C-alpha cells in the first residue's frame, strides 16, 4: 500500500494506516503524505519507512513505484486527502495500473465522479470507496435480514447522522478539519450533506437494498457566516415504494457520531446505532423484541465473517473500517491472480456508490434551493 | 365530575376515571356513558353510581344536573367520545355553566374549534384539553430548562411519535378504535396526524416554547385502502428561528408509543422519551452528559409538583394524565372561589392549544396535497 | 377501608390511599391517622372524611366501626405505621373481624410474626402484606416463565436492592423516615435488611419459585454511629439446588431504588429492573435476546391482568402497588360472599410471606454475627 | 516480537498479533506457534514470516534468536499458551535477556508465580501481564476519578464477570478452550476464578486503588462432572476499609462477557461495563447523573492517551488490548535506551499483579473449602 495524504497532523491518515495493519494482510510500503515534502519525509520516518519510498508528491510516487519490480512496488494507492484532491490522484493511479481505495465523497462534483467511473471501469482495476459504516457486522446482518424478507416489504426508512462538532464556528479558529470541510474549494457543493449525509444515504441504500430515487431537501447553514450547509433534512423515496427520512446535521450540540437507522417493513422493524454497533434490535408487533449481537451463532455469514473476537468483546469503528480494507485487499489479491472482480462479492463500496453519492449531494443542494418539493436523483 | 362517553367497552373512559380518582380530589358523580341507554346504565352500575345519576344522553345529563343544587350537581364534564362528538357536548356544557375537560383533537374541523373557543372564552369557564404528555414531570422540566436558556437559543427540534398498531388494516377486523380513527366521519381530516401528530406538535411547542409557524408535510396512507393518513413526515419552522422535523406514523411495525423529542440549542441538547418518562438527558459538547431523574432535589418546581413518589419509583402514563386532571380540578375549585383562571398558571393545555391543533392538522393535510414546499399555519 | 397511620406528613399513607382509589373498587371510609388526635382529625378533614369517622386511635376506630351496620362500616384495615406498630393493630383488627392489609416487614420480631400468623389463620380473614414489587406485571411474567421451565432448572439467582438515601447520617437531621428506620425500637433487629432486604428476598423467592433455605450474611453499619445495618451482602441457597446472592444497601450514594434481579437456568437467563419495570429481558446462548414488554399479546394472563393501559404507555410503582390492593380487595369481596380464600389465587403476598420475611431478617442478623458461613432459615 | 503459542487454530494468538500490529510500533519477527512443528511452520507461513524464523519449540526460538545480532533478533517474547505453559517459557526468556509479555493468570501456582517474580525482578527486564480490561480508556478514567477523591472515601466495590459459555459441559465436545480451561493440569487450581475471577479482582484493585486483603468465597462446579469451579461468589475486604463483592461465573446462560464494576464512595458512585466500554457513568445523590464518554475534552490524560479515534466512534476490546501492548513496547524501547522501568508509569499490569492474582486464586479456593467465613490473602 502506498498512501496519498495522511501526514501525522491529519486525523484520518493514522486511522487508515491502523486499519490497514490490523489483520496482517496489508503493508504500508510508501507514501506521499503531504504536498509539503518535509512533512511527508517526517511522516514517513515516524512510520519506519525507508527514505527512498517517501515521496514529495503523489505524481512522483506513482511514477517511481511503477518502475519498481512487481512484488516490490506498491499494489494499491490509499487516498486520504480532502475532497478536492480525490479525483486527480485516483485518476493517475488507475491510469498507471494501481488499484485505488479512496475516501468519500468520491470527488468534488458529479461530473468528476462520472469521469472517474469511466476510467475505473475501463481500467478493470479494483476501486473501493471507504463508506466505513457498511463495514460493521450488524449493518451487514441488517442488510441480510431485509434482503431475505424478515421484515416483509420495506415501507419506511429513517436514517440520521447527527453530530455537534460544528455547532460553533470552529473553522474560524483554524481547526484543520473544520476549515476545509466548510470551504467549497476543498469540499465541493455540500457541507454536512457531503461529509455525513452521503454516509447516511449510503447506509439506507445498503441496508434497505434499494436506491433512493427522489428527495425533497431542506439545507441550512445554521451557524452564521458559514457558506456550506451544516444541517440537512430530507424526505426520501426509494425504488420499490418505501419512503423515508434523512437527517444530517453537524450543529446538534452534544452529539458525537450518532448515526442511527430504522427500517420498518410490513411485519416488523429493525434499528441499529453506530455508537453501539455490536447490537441490532428487531421489533415485532406480536412477539418479543430481539437483540442480535455480534459473534453469536445465529448471525449470517457476512456478519460472522466481519467479526474478529468472540461475542461480548466489543468491536468498533476501526474494526469496521478494517473490514473495508480487508475486503478490498482480498479483491486486489484475487485480481492479481487474474480473477475478474465483482465488488459486491467482497462487500466493499465501489465506484458506483461514489457516483451515487455525488448525485445525491447535487440533488439535495438543488432541491433545497427550489420551491417545489420533489426532485429526482439522476446518475 | 360527569362523564360523556366512556362505557365499559371503551378503552379511554376507564383511563379518565382512574386518573381522576388517583389523587382523591375528584369524584365521579354522574355520566352519560353511551348513546345506547342500556350500555350507559350498565356502565354506571359497574361504577357504583346511583341509577338516577346515569343518563341516556349528554343532553339529558346536562339538563338534569343543572337542576340539582350546587354542591350536589357535577362541577364539570369530562368528554371522552370520538372526535365527531367533541364539539356538541362541549358547547352544551359550556353554555349551561359546566367546566369542560376534553380529549384531543378538540373538534372535527378548525372552524368548529374556533367556534368552541369563542364559546369557551365568552363563558369564562375552565376548559382543558388532555394533551397527556405535557403532564409528565420531565416534560415540564425540559420546558423549564429551555425557557431559562440552559441550551442557549434553540436551533433544532426533532419530534417523533411512532406506533405500529395500524401496520395492518386492523379497521377491517371491526376493532373499535381502529374503525373510528380511520373513518373521516368520526375523525375528521386527519388520521395519524390528528391522533398522534397533534400530540407531537403540542409537545414540540410546549418544550421549545415557540409555536410552529410553517410546515412542509408528506402524508400517506401506507396501508392500502385506508382513506386517512397513517403516516406523516414534515419539516417545521418555529417562531424564533428554530427549524425541525415531525414524524407521526402508525405503521412502524413493532413500535408501541414511541414519542421521542430532541431539542438542540447553541450550547447543548436534550432528549426525552415517553416510554422511559422519568429520565431527561442533557447532552453537552464540553462536559459529561447528564441524566436528570424525577423526584430528585435538583429538578424545578413544576416537575417536583408533578411527582407523587420518591425517585427511583417509576411513574407513568396514568400519573402524567392525572396531572392534567388535578391541574384542571384546581382551576375549577379556584373558579368556584371567584378567581379568574389563567390556564398556564395551572399547567393544563387549554382551548387555544385545541385551536392550534386543528390548524396544524388542516395545514398538514393541505401541505401534503400541494407541490410547493412550505405552508403557513394560520389560526 | 379504614386506615391506621398515614397522617399527611407521612409519605407512605398517601401512597396507600392513592393506590386504593385508583381502580374505583375501594373507598376510604374512616381512619386513625395518627396517635396525635389533632393530626388525625386534620388528615381526615383534608381527605373529605366525615368527622365522626376520624378516630383518635386504632383501638377506638376498631371498636366504633364494629358497631356500625354491615355495608356501612369499614370492610378492612390498612396499617401503614412504622414496624413497631404493626402487630398490635393487626391483631386487634383480626380479632374483631376486620380483614387486614399490612406494610412489610410484618412485625418487630419473628416471635410476633408467628403469633400473628396463628391469629390470622384462626380468623379465616384475608391478610395481605404489601410486598409491592410482586405487583409489577413483568415480575409476574418472570415468575410464570420460570415456573413453566422456560429457563430450564434454575441455577443462579442474583438479587440486589441498592439505594443511596442513607449514605449520610440523615437520621441526625430529624428526617422522619430515616429516624425510625435506623432505630431498633421502631424497626426491630434489621435496618437495610428489614426495609429493603426483605423485598429482595421476597422477590427472589417469588420469581424463582423456591424458598431460601440457607444464607451466609455480612451486615454492616457503614455510616459511623448507626446502630442497625445500612448495608448487607449474602450468599443464598434455595430449595431445589439453586444458589445466589442478595445485596441490600442504603449507602450506595447515587442510587435511587435500584431493585434488580437476574435468574439463570440451564437454558437461559432473565433480568428485571424495578426502575424500568415494563421490560423483561431474556438472554439465550444460542438465539437473540428477547425484550418482553407489558401490554403485548404474548405475555401470560397474570401479567396481562395486572396491566391497565396499552403497551408503550408506561406503568409504574403506584400501579404495581394498586395491583396488590385490588387483589386483596377481590379476596375480601369473595370472602364476604362466603368463599374460602387462597391468597395465591389472587396474587397478593400473605401472612406466610410475612413470617418468612421475619425469619429471613433474624437469620441474616445471626449469620452476620457468627464466624461460620452458613445458617439455616427456620420458620 | 516473537510469539510462543498462538497457532492458527487458537483464538487468542490472532488477537495478540492484531493488537500488536495495530499501532505500527511492533513487528512480529518470529514464533514458536505450536509444540507441533508442522503446525508452527504452517502458522508462520500464513503470517508471511521467513521460514527460518519459525521455530519448533520456544527453547529453540530463544536459543536461536539470542544468536542473532541486536536490531535483528526479537526484542521480546509474547507468551499466549495455556496456563501450564506460562512459567517455563517466561523464565527461559527472562534468563536469556528477552522482555516478556504474558497472558494471565501468570502461572499454575502461587509458588511458581513467586519464583517468576524473583527472576523477573533480578533480570531488570520489562514484564507485562495482559489484564486486558485495564487497557480501556474509561477504566483508566475511573481509576483517576477515584484516586483524586471524586467519590469521596470508597465504601463499596461490586465487581462481576458473568459469562454463559460453560453452562453446558462444552469440554466433553472437545472444544479446545473449554477442554484445557476445565482441566487442572492445564489451568491449575482455579476454573472460572482463574480465567475471569482474576480479571475482576484486578479491575477492582485497579479502579479502587487498594488491594483486596481478605475474602470469603463460595465456589462451585455447577455443571455436573466438572472438576474445577465454574461459578464463584465472594465477599471482599479492601485495604482502606472498603468492602465488596466479586462474582465470577461461566454458567450464567445467555451472558457474553459481562464484566461490570460499581464503586460507591461517600459522595457518589461510578459504574462501567465492558460490553459498553466507551461510557462511564457517575451517580450522585444531589445532582444529575453524568455520562462520561471517551474522546471528549473533559477526560483525564490517561484515558485520552488510550484513545485512537474521535468521540462517537466506538473503540473496543482490541484497542484496549493494544493499549497494554503499546505501553509495554514503550517500556521496552525505553529500557533499550537504558532507562529504568517503573510499570505504573506506562500503565501496564506487571509481575506483582501476576503474583497477586495467583494469591487471590489460592485464597479463594481455600476459603471455599473451609467453614469459616474470612481468609487473608497473603502474597
ipTM of the complex: 0.96
**Distance separating alpha carbons of residues C219 and C190, to the nearest angstrom:** 10
Neighbours of chain C (3+ CB pairs under 8 A): A, B, D
Q: Within this chain, do residues D74 and D167 fall inside the same structural domain, yes or no?
A: no
| Nearest CB to C317; choose among B48, B163, B313 | B313
In chain A, which stretches have pLDDT less than 50? none
Phi-psi region of C186 (alpha: psi -120 to 50; beta: other; left: phi over 0): alpha
Check whether B251 has a pLDDT greater than 90. Answer: yes
Task: Determine the distance from the C-alpha atom of residue A261 to the mean position of all C-alpha atoms in its chain, rounded to a whole number.
Answer: 16
User: For helices C110-123 and C351-369, what crossing angle results, to 10°?
Assistant: 170
Is D234 within 8 Å of D216 (Cβ atoms)?
A: yes
What pLDDT does residue A11 have?
Answer: 79
**Distance separating alpha carbons of residues B118 and B121, to the nearest angstrom:** 5
**Distance separating alpha carbons of residues D354 and D130, to the nearest angstrom:** 9
Is D346 within 8 Å of D331 (Cβ atoms)?
A: yes
What pLDDT does residue C45 have?
Answer: 95
CB contact under 8 A, A269 and B164: yes
**Distance separating alpha carbons of residues B40 and B51, to the nearest angstrom:** 10
User: Of A289, A298, A286, which is closest to residue A145 (Cα–Cα)?
Assistant: A298
Chain B: give the shortest CA distance to residue C118, in Å: 34
How confident is residue B69, by pLDDT bands cut at 50, 70 and 90? Answer: very high
Q: What residue spans of chain A are helical by DSSP H?
A: 11-21, 37-46, 58-67, 87-95, 110-123, 137-147, 176-181, 184-187, 192, 198-208, 301-305, 317-336, 343-346, 351-369
CB contact under 8 A, B293 and C17: no
Quote helix, strand, coil % in chain C, to nearest 5: 40, 20, 40
What is the residue-averaged pLDDT of chain D?
A: 96
How confident is residue B220, by pLDDT bands cut at 50, 70 and 90? Answer: very high
Check whether C332 has a pLDDT greater than 80. Answer: yes
What pLDDT does residue B25 have?
Answer: 92
Q: Within this chain, do residues D115 and D192 fall inside the same structural domain, yes or no?
A: no
Q: Which residues in chain B have Cβ-Cβ distances shorter than 8 Å to A231?
A: 155-156, 243
Q: Within this chain, do residues B244 and B156 fall inside the same structural domain, yes or no?
A: yes
CB contact under 8 A, A274 and D311: no
How confident is residue B379, by pLDDT bands cut at 50, 70 and 90? Answer: confident
CB contact under 8 A, C286 and A297: yes
Rounded percentage of chain B residues whose pLDDT exceeds 90? 95
Q: Within this chain, do residues C113 and C198 fall inside the same structural domain, yes or no?
A: no
What pLDDT does residue A10 have?
Answer: 75
Check whether B38 has a pLDDT greater than 90. Answer: yes
Number of Cβ within a 10 Å radius of residue B52: 9
CB contact under 8 A, B21 and C21: yes
Q: Which residues in chain A have Cβ-Cβ distances shorter than 8 Å to B371?
A: 372-373
| Nearest CB to B308; choose among C18, C28, C308 | C18
How confident is residue D170, by pLDDT bands cut at 50, 70 and 90? Answer: very high
Chain B: give the shortest CA distance to residue C209, in Å: 25
Check whether C308 has a pLDDT greater than 90. Answer: yes
| Nearest CB to C264; choose among D158, D253, D283 | D253
Q: Within this chain, do residues D115 and D251 fall inside the same structural domain, yes or no?
A: no
Report chain B residues touching chain C, CB-CB < 8 A: 11, 14-15, 17-18, 21-24, 28, 47-48, 163, 255-258, 274-278, 293, 295-296, 308-319
How confident is residue D127, by pLDDT bands cut at 50, 70 and 90? Answer: very high
Rounded percentage of chain A residues whose pLDDT exceeds 90? 95
Check whether C10 has a pLDDT greater than 80. Answer: no
CB contact under 8 A, D293 and B296: no
pLDDT tens digits, D299-314: 999 999 999 999 999 9
Backbone angles phi, psi at D275, to 5 degrees: -75, -10
- Residues in Cβ contact with A30 at an 8 Å cutoff, skipping those fewer than 6 apart: A2, A3, A49, A53, A54, A55, A61, A65, A74
**Distance separating alpha carbons of residues D328 and D186, to the nearest angstrom:** 26
Size of interface A-B (CB pairs under 8 A): 122
The residue assigned the cell 420460570 is C146
pLDDT tens digits, D250-277: 999 999 999 999 999 999 999 999 999 9
Instruction: Look at chain A and report how many structural domains it folds into.
Output: 2
C-alpha dihedral, C117 to C123 to C125 to C128, nearest 10°: -10
CB contact under 8 A, B276 and C277: no
**Distance separating alpha carbons of residues C125 and C118, to the nearest angstrom:** 12
The average pLDDT across C344-351 equals: 95
Is D232 within 8 Å of D192 (Cβ atoms)?
A: yes
Quick check: helix, strand or coil at residue C99? Answer: strand
The residue assigned the cell 415501507 is A155
pLDDT tens digits, B148-162: 999 999 999 999 999
How confident is residue C176, by pLDDT bands cut at 50, 70 and 90? Answer: confident
What pLDDT does residue B176 have?
Answer: 86
Neighbours of chain B (3+ CB pairs under 8 A): A, C, D
Is residue C315 domain-resident?
no
Is residue A318 domain-resident?
no
Q: Within this chain, do residues A331 and A300 fall inside the same structural domain, yes or no?
A: no
Quick check: helix, strand or coil at residue D4? Answer: strand
Chain C: give the shortest CA distance to residue B62, in Å: 24
Nearest CA in chain D to C247: D245
Is D4 within 8 Å of D31 (Cβ atoms)?
A: yes
Is A6 within 8 Å of A103 (Cβ atoms)?
A: no
What is the domain range of residue B175?
134-310+357-369
In this structure, what CATH number is given to the domain that contains residue C40? 3.40.50.720
Chain A: give the shortest CA distance to residue B6, in Å: 27
Q: Within this chain, do residues C196 and C300 fall inside the same structural domain, yes or no?
A: yes
Is residue D168 domain-resident?
yes
Report chain A residues touching chain B, CB-CB < 8 A: 151-152, 155-156, 158, 164-165, 167-168, 216, 218, 220, 222, 231, 233, 235, 243, 245, 247, 249, 251-255, 262, 264-269, 282-285, 289, 371-373
pLDDT tens digits, C79-116: 999 999 999 999 999 999 999 999 999 999 999 999 99
Q: Which residues in chain C have Cβ-Cβ distances shorter than 8 Å to B277?
A: 314
The average pLDDT across B123-150 equals: 98
Q: Which stretch of DSSP H or E encloses residue D160?
A: strand D154-162
Is C203 within 8 Å of C261 (Cβ atoms)?
A: yes
The average pLDDT across C291-310 equals: 96
Distances (CA, A) of A294 to A31, C113, C201, D309: 35, 52, 35, 21
What pLDDT does residue D379 have?
Answer: 85
Q: Within this chain, do residues B88 and B117 fall inside the same structural domain, yes or no?
A: yes
pTM exceeding the 0.90 threshold for the entire prediction = yes
Is B207 within 8 Å of B143 (Cβ atoms)?
A: yes
What pLDDT does residue A379 have?
Answer: 85
Rounded percentage of chain D residues whose pLDDT exceeds 90? 95
Q: Within this chain, do residues B165 and B246 fall inside the same structural domain, yes or no?
A: yes
Q: Which residues in chain C have Cβ-Cβ distances shorter than 8 Å to D368?
A: none
Which of C279, C288, C296, C311 should be substituted to probe chain A, the one whose Cβ sees the most A Cβ atoms within 10 Å? Answer: C288
Is residue B317 domain-resident?
no
How confident is residue D45, by pLDDT bands cut at 50, 70 and 90? Answer: very high
The residue assigned the cell 493511479 is A93
Which of D29, D279, D314 should be substituted to probe chain A, the one whose Cβ sees the most A Cβ atoms within 10 Å? Answer: D314
User: For helices D11-21 and D317-336, what crossing angle results, to 10°?
Assistant: 60
How confident is residue D11, by pLDDT bands cut at 50, 70 and 90? Answer: confident
Check whether D141 has a pLDDT greater than 80. Answer: yes
Taken in order C50, C51, C54, C59, the sign of the CA dihedral is negative
Chain D: give the shortest CA distance to residue A3, in Å: 15
> Running DSSP on this structure, what letter comes out for residue B194?
I
Q: Within this chain, do residues D230 and D338 fall inside the same structural domain, yes or no?
A: no
Cell matching residue A14: 493514522
Cα end-to-end span (Å), chain B = 31
pLDDT tens digits, A221-257: 999 999 999 999 999 999 999 999 999 999 999 999 9
In this structure, what CATH number is given to the domain that contains residue C201? 3.30.360.10
Chain D: give the shortest CA distance to residue B288, in Å: 5
Is residue B377 domain-resident?
no
Q: Within this chain, do residues A180 and A114 fall inside the same structural domain, yes or no?
A: no
The average pLDDT across D46-70 equals: 96
**Distance separating alpha carbons of residues B266 and A224, to the nearest angstrom:** 12
Is residue D377 domain-resident?
no
**Distance separating alpha carbons of residues A11 and C37, to the nearest angstrom:** 74
Radius of gyration (C-alpha) of chain D in whole angstroms: 20
Q: Within this chain, do residues D167 and D289 fall inside the same structural domain, yes or no?
A: yes
Is residue C379 domain-resident?
no
Quick check: helix, strand or coil at residue B21? Answer: helix
**Distance separating alpha carbons of residues A104 and A210, to the nearest angstrom:** 20
> Running DSSP on this structure, what letter comes out for residue C193?
I
**Distance separating alpha carbons of residues C27 and C2, to the nearest angstrom:** 9
CB contact under 8 A, D167 and C254: no
What is the DSSP secondary-structure string of C25-58?
S----EEE--SSHHHHHHHHHHTT--GGGB-SSH
Is residue C329 domain-resident?
yes
Amino acid at each position: 500500500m502506498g498512501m496519498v495524504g495522511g501526514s501525522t497532523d491529519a486525523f484520518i491518515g493514522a486511522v487508515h494506516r491502523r486499519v490497514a495493519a490490523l489483520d496482517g494482510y496489508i503493508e504500508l510500503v510508501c507514501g506521499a503524505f503531504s504536498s509539503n515534502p518535509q512533512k511527508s519525509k517526517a511522516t514517513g520516518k515516524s512510520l519506519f519507512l525507508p527514505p527512498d519510498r517517501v515521496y514529495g508528491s503523489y505524481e512522483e510516487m506513482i511514477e517511481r513505484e511503477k518502475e519498481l519490480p512487481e512484488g516490490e512496488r506498491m499494489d494499491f494507492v490509499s487516498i486520504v486527502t480532502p475532497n478536492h484532491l480525490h479525483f486527480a490522484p485516483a485518476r493517475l493511479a488507475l491510469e498507471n495500473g494501481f488499484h485505488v481505495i479512496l475516501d468519500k465523497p468520491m470527488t468534488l462534483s458529479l461530473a468528476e465522479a462520472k469521469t472517474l467511473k469511466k476510467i475505473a471501469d475501463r481500467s478493470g482495476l479494483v476501486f473501493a470507496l471507504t463508506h466505513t459504516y457498511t463495514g460493521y457486522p450488524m449493518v451487514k446482518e441488517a442488510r441480510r435480514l431485509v434482503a431475505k424478507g424478515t421484515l416483509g416489504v420495506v415501507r419506511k426508512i429513517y436514517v440520521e447522522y447527527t453530530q455537534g462538532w460544528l455547532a460553533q464556528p470552529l473553522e474560524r479558529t483554524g481547526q484543520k478539519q473544520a476549515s476545509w470541510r466548510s470551504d467549497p474549494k476543498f469540499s465541493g457543493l455540500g457541507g454536512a450533506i457531503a461529509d455525513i449525509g452521503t454516509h447516511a444515504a449510503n447506509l439506507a441504500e445498503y441496508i434497505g437494498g434499494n436506491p433512493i430515487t427522489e428527495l425533497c431537501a431542506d439545507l441550512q447553514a445554521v451557524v452564521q457566516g458559514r457558506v456550506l450547509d451544516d444541517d440537512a433534512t430530507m424526505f426520501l423515496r426509494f425504488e420499490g415504494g418505501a419512503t423515508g427520512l434523512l437527517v444530517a446535521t453537524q450543529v446538534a450540540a452534544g452529539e458525537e457520531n450518532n448515526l442511527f437507522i430504522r427500517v420498518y417493513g410490513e411485519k416488523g422493524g429493525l434499528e441499529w446505532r453506530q455508537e453501539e454497533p455490536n447490537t441490532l434490535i428487531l421489533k415485532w408487533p406480536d412477539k418479543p423484541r430481539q437483540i442480535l449481537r455480534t459473534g453469536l451463532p445465529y448471525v449470517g455469514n457476512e456478519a460472522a465473517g466481519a467479526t474478529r473476537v468472540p461475542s461480548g468483546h466489543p468491536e468498533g469503528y476501526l474494526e469496521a473500517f478494517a473490514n473495508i480494507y480487508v475486503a478490498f485487499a482480498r479483491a486486489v489479491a484475487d485480481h492479481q491472480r487474474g480473477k475478474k472482480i465483482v465488488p459486491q462479492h467482497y462487500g466493499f463500496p465501489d465506484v458506483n456508490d461514489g457516483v451515487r453519492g455525488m448525485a445525491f449531494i447535487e440533488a439535495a443542494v438543488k432541491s433545497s434551493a427550489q420551491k417545489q418539493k420533489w426532485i429526482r436523483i439522476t446518475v
